[in-house]
Amino acid sequence: MLAILLVLLLALLLFGVGFAVKILWWIALAVFVVWLLGFLFRSAAVGGARRRWYRW
């Protein structure tokens, strides 16, 4: 009985970790797209001048 509960607990834990990792991948993809759009629009707004798009 204890072994079945441990296996079920392990399956639940791995499912939760897998779900969290999948959500984190989608969040990382969204952040990357926003960063890329900001980089492209910033370089287009500057025009011919070679300005740095980062603050440091």
Q: Is the pLDDT of residue 44 over 80?
A: no
Residues 6-42: pLDDT tens digits?
Answer: 988 888 888 888 888 888 899 999 999 988 888 777 7
Would you kindly state where each structural domain of the chain is located, as residue ranges?
Answer: 1-45
What's residue 26's pLDDT? 92
The two tokens of residue 13 are 């834990």
What's residue 47's pLDDT? 56
Q: What is the rounded distance in angstroms from the CA atom of residue 12 to the CA atom of residue 19?
A: 11
Q: What is the rounded distance in angstroms from the CA atom of residue 29 to the CA atom of residue 33?
A: 6
What's residue 30's pLDDT? 94
Q: What is the rounded distance in angstroms from the CA atom of residue 19 to the CA atom of residue 28?
A: 14
Instruction: Say if pTM beats, i.e. exceeds, 0.95.
Output: no
